[in-house]
Structure 1
Amino acid sequence: MHAFFRAAVAHAKRNLRNGTFLQEVPVYFNITNFRKLNTSYGIARGDECLRAVAHILREHFPGRLIGRLAADNFAMLAGSSDVTTRVSAACRAFADYIQNSGIELKAGIRFYDTSENSAAIFQYGFNQAKLACNTVKSDANHCWAAYTEEMGQRDAIRHYIREHFDEALQKGFLKVYYQPVIRTLTGKICGVEALSRWESPAHGRLSPADFIPVLEETHLIHKLDAYVIDRVCHHLRQRIDDGRPSLPVSLNLSRLDFTLANPRHSWTPASLRIPPTRDVNVTSSTATSQPPATTATPHS
């Protein structure tokens, strides 16, 4: 892998000296669900598939620098003028070979413009091509994508979330807000839904659409949901102690909570510090794959 990248940078430096720098672009390939292929058909079948991909790439990109990075990933320097046509043809050739719609060859391409004329950019160009490839791995209608600055920004946010989540919990950057639930027949408030928002000192308010998928992917979501439950119960306890009325509160939980945190035992009326006559309803659709009893958990 390191040998390929060293060769790619050296190649880019030669192109820069020759004035042909923009004529080649980094391309990153991935075989989707490759692990499933190995599991279902054996390692030998997987090795055969890797050899087939190498052959397809050499056939559609003759004379180009091509390397297998690791596992199911390949990279190359391809001619920029017809790269999308050749990538599409290579992906179709792989589909004809594998005859399995669940296993596909996907690609990401990092195009450059005239302002980007340093060989050093190749040190991260393949990473950016990989980001582009990741955006189409689950897309049945496209086999390649070109890197955009927006992809880079989203990836930076994802890294920020992973690195600063514990700090956000400790310093109170994660806030709980309450959205009214209105009964349509009367137009009156009949409850509230607890929603989490991340007030980042570096990025401002982060959307749940940004941080919740990352926390689920990294199996940290149960920490967020436990934090929200704690804050909700603290607010309810304050209202009860002050003699103020309170409304039913709906919470959004991830299905991962039921495997990572065992909420049936963790979230009891005693631990939540509110009377058992108070209802805390689990309304998230992610819990619907669990047995019916879990959709009523926790009760308070």
Structure 2
Amino acid sequence: MENQLEHAFRLSQQSQSLLAVMHLDLDGFKAINDGLGFTIGNQLLMAVADRLRQLLRHTDTLARLTGDEFVFLMPGFRAREEVVAAAERILGALEHPFEIDGRALHISTSIGVACSDEDIKQAHELLQHADLAVEVAKKQGRNTWQWYQREGVRHTSEHLMLRHDLHTALRENQFELYYQPVVNAASGQVLSVEALVRWHHPRHGMISPGIFIPIAEQTGQIIPLGRWVLRQACQSLADLRAKGERVLPVAVNISSLQFHRDGFLDEVQYILDETGLPPGFLELEMTESILMEGAEQAIEMIRTLRGMCITVAIDDFGTGFSSLSYLRDLPIHKIKLDRAFVQDILTSRSNAAIVQGIITMAHHMDLVVVAEGVETREQQQDLIRRDCDLLQGFLFARPMPLEDLMALPYILPE
């Protein structure tokens, strides 16, 4: 691909013709892949590729990038109007549904377009510019194309570079797990930990999960990253256990994309078997978003996890849309109060009422309640009065590497 791009770029300069690079990102493919399964999703991708190939001229190149993204190299244009017409033909080619396994599936694409008449010096810049442009096309409502525009792209460019760097980070082991204790509300005794991933970027230093996790979810890289976190957490605890060290149950965050991917339950079992960690030491945390893509399936999967002796917690409880309607049916063990409620519990009567209501309701359903984001003694005392079971936050300890965690006392704060 890179050699073809370089060759086409040189020819366009010599012939003074235009080389267009179009980056295609399929709209709504994730919903189809998650809802109908990997097999249907893969068949759809192949059908899309076949239809796109029908648009190729003898000089064009079509390549599939990662996941649901494709790129066209289209040399030999005389004017930008011809490039626009080609982009419109691509959109038109996807207007008709695809017949996959007896289903009529509709899918569109967003297209980012870059052209060799831009102020560029290297061929690879065309790919970068097309990638930036497709982000803009997505924001404009999808099923559209967008020229690359230099103005206002600095933030998007940084996003793009981090997106590319994530591939390298996974390959070169730039991630590390930090652990944050969860304590008994009244006594402060450390009862478990939550595993939190950190990225040591070689140029930018420590990058916040709030920045790279959303990028990983957008690109699908959350799948290999989530797998790495789960394996690393289980392996670390298994190693401690083998040495006779103190071992606390660990909670690992699972994204909705990871949870709904075919083979997730088998993958969890394989990692437990591979590392030798007893399943009773593992807790999986997931948000209410898992219910948005098939509640019945999610409930059945959680029931299977409980059958494997793995506990399940709903994270960021109270911020989703399904809290009450499905809570009675979810075979979970624990809910974690979102930190937004805890933050203002002393100053907001409505927040305090919500927290009290959730705690009371959860206890009637035999669920354990964890309050996240506890930063002051006053918040701790207020939550104790409200009969909250477990607490987590900077008051007790910040997330830390495993060796620092092992040096902590049994009771927090000190």
Specify the alignment match of 1:282 in structure 2: 284
Deviation at 1:195, TM superposition (A): 1.7
Q: Which residue of 1 aligns with 2:265?
A: 258
Shift of 1:191: 5.7
Matched, 1:154 2:148: no
Counterpart code for 1:6: H
User: Which of 24, 27, 33 is matched with 2:21 structurally?
Assistant: 27
Could you tell me how far 1:137 is from its partner in structure 2?
A: 9.7
- Counterpart Cα distance in 2 of 1:36 and 1:280: 32
Task: Flag the 1:113–1:38 CA change in 2: closer, same or farther, 3 A.
Answer: closer
Query: Using the alignment, how far apart are the partners of 1:228 and 1:4 within structure 2?
Result: 42
- The number of residues matched between the two structures is 255
Decide whether aligned partners of structure 1 residues 163 and 134 sit closer, same or farther in structure 2, where only a CA change above 3 A counts. Answer: farther
Match of 2:88 in 1: 89
Deviations 1:123-142 (A, max 9, x none): x1343255347758988624
- Corresponding residue to 1:228 among 226, 230, 233: 233
C-alpha root-mean-square deviation of aligned residues, in Å? 5.1
TM-score (norm: length of structure 2): 0.45
Confirm or deny: 8 A CA contact 1:25 1:79 kept in the other structure: no
Percent identical residues: 15
3-state SS of paired residue (2:60): strand
Q: Say whether the 8 Å CA contact 1:105–1:143 is kept in structure 2.
A: yes
Alignment of 1:81-160 (within 5 A): 86=85, 89-96=88-95, 98-99=96-97, 102-110=106-114, 116-118=119-121, 121-122=122-123, 124-129=124-129, 131-132=131-132, 135=135, 141-145=142-146, 148=153, 149-160=157-168
Counterpart position of 2:53: 50
Q: Secondary structure at the match of 1:76?
A: strand
| Equivalent position of 1:68 in the other structure | 61
- Residue in structure 2 matched with residue 61 of structure 1 by the alignment: none
Q: State the match for 1:11 in structure 2.
A: 12
Q: CA deviation at 1:226?
A: 1.9
Q: CA deviation at 1:164?
A: 0.7
Matches within 5 A, 1:210-229: 216-217=222-223, 219=224, 221-229=226-234
Would the alpha carbon gap of residues 112 and 152 (structure 1) be closer, same or farther in structure 2, given more than 3 Å must change? farther
Q: Supply the distance in 1 between the matched residues of 2:42 and 2:231 (Cα, whole angstroms).
A: 38
Distance, in Å, in 2 between the alignment partners of 1:144 and 1:31 is 10
For the residues of structure 2 that align with 1:92 and 1:133, how far apart are their CA atoms?
Answer: 16
Query: Quick one: distance in 2 between partners of 1:27 and 1:4?
Result: 9
Q: Secondary structure at the match of 1:281?
A: strand
Is the Cα–Cα contact under 8 Å of residues 193 and 251 in structure 1 kept in the other structure? Answer: yes
3-state SS of 2:301 partner: coil
Instruction: Write the letter of the residue equivalent to 1:74.
Output: F
Unpaired runs of 5+ residues, structure 1, are 16-20, 59-64, 241-245
Question: Aligned partners of 1:137, 1:94: CA distance in 2, in Å?
Answer: 18
Structure 2 residues not aligned, in runs of 5+: 30-38, 65-69, 99-104, 291-296, 312-414
CA distance in 2, matches of 1:238, 1:37: 45
TM-score (norm 1): 0.57
Retained in 2: the 8 A contact 1:176–1:228? no
